[in-house]
């Protein structure tokens, strides 16, 4: 990658993306997230199934097909997990968000992103109808780092510290 001008490598300190490297990275993120949206919205995949499929397909999709997918889906700005989709120029919306574990008892939060690395968590959240855009109310923040929440269905749901780090929210103003 260094020979292609995508990274600058400094011995013993690591590598840094160049502007060209960042552009390539953002294009791959865009491809992946648009393919995920297509799989969910058009082919009825569940959100816990799309990541591995998108990993394979993102490399096979032509620029022309990707443009058509983007247009067909109405130029979405978020993938099924709430992650931002870079626009055609590689720009991403910065939301100023926090991990769910940072919310305090009594806070009302809006779920913005759910990391797709834990399929079990995605299935659990789906059972409680929690997805990007859902509102949760923090009912309890326990000393073992687990939190209890009131879900959109009015049920109580508990999440452990590991799960809390995978969910990004915006705390609503009181």
pLDDT in tens, 69-119: 999 999 998 899 888 899 888 888 766 688 898 888 999 999 998 988 888
Is 77 inside a domain boundary?
no
Q: 173 versus 167: which is more confidently predicted?
A: 167
82 φ/ψ sector (left φ>0, alpha ψ -120 to 50, else beta):
left
- CATH code where residue 111 lies: 2.30.30.90
Q: Please, are residues 157 and 149 in contact by the beta-carbon 8 Å criterion?
A: yes
**Same domain assignment for residues 55 and 14:** yes
Separation CA 81–CA 61 (nearest Å): 21
Residue 102, Cβ density class (10 Å: 0-12 exposed, 13-18 middle, ≥19 buried): middle
What's the whole-model pTM score?
A: 0.67
Is 160 inside a domain boundary?
yes
**Same domain assignment for residues 124 and 161:** yes
User: Is the pLDDT assigned to residue 131 strictly greater than 70?
Assistant: yes
Domain hosting 116: range is 98-171
Separation CA 26–CA 24 (nearest Å): 6
In the chain, pLDDT over 70 holds for what percent of residues? Answer: 94
In the chain, pLDDT over 90 holds for what percent of residues? Answer: 54
Q: 145 versus 81: which is more confidently predicted?
A: 81
Is 85 inside a domain boundary?
no
- Work out whether strand 108-114 and strand 98-99 pair parallel, antiparallel, or are unpaired: unpaired
- CATH code where residue 20 lies: 1.10.10.10
Q: Buried b / exposed e across 62-86, counting CB within 10 Å, b at 16+?
A: eeeebeebbeeeeebebbbbbbbbb
Our count of domains for the chain comes to 2
Q: How many CB atoms lie within 10 A of CB 114?
A: 26
Is 92 inside a domain boundary?
no
Is 49 inside a domain boundary?
yes
Summary mean pLDDT of the chain: 88
User: Is the pLDDT assigned to residue 17 strictly greater than 80?
Assistant: no
């Amino acid at each position: 990658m260094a020979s292609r001008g995508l990274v600058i490598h400094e011995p013993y300190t690591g590598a840094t993306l160049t502007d060209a490297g960042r552009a390539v990275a953002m294009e791959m993120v865009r491809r992946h997230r648009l393919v995920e949206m297509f799989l969910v919205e058009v082919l009825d995949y569940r959100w816990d199934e799309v990541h591995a499929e998108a990993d394979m397909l993102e490399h096979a999709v032509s620029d022309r097909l990707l443009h058509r997918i983007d247009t067909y889906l109405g130029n979405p700005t978020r993938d099924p997990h709430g992650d931002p989709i870079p626009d055609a120029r590689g720009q991403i919306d910065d939301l100023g968000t926090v991990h769910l574990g940072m919310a305090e008892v009594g806070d009302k939060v809006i779920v913005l992103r759910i990391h797709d690395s834990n399929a079990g968590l995605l299935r659990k959240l789906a059972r409680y109808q929690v997805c990007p855009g859902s509102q949760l109310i923090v009912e309890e923040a326990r000393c073992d780092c687990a939190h209890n929440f009131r879900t959109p269905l009015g049920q109580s749901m508990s999440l452990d510290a590991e799960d809390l780090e995978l969910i990004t929210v915006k705390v609503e103003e009181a």
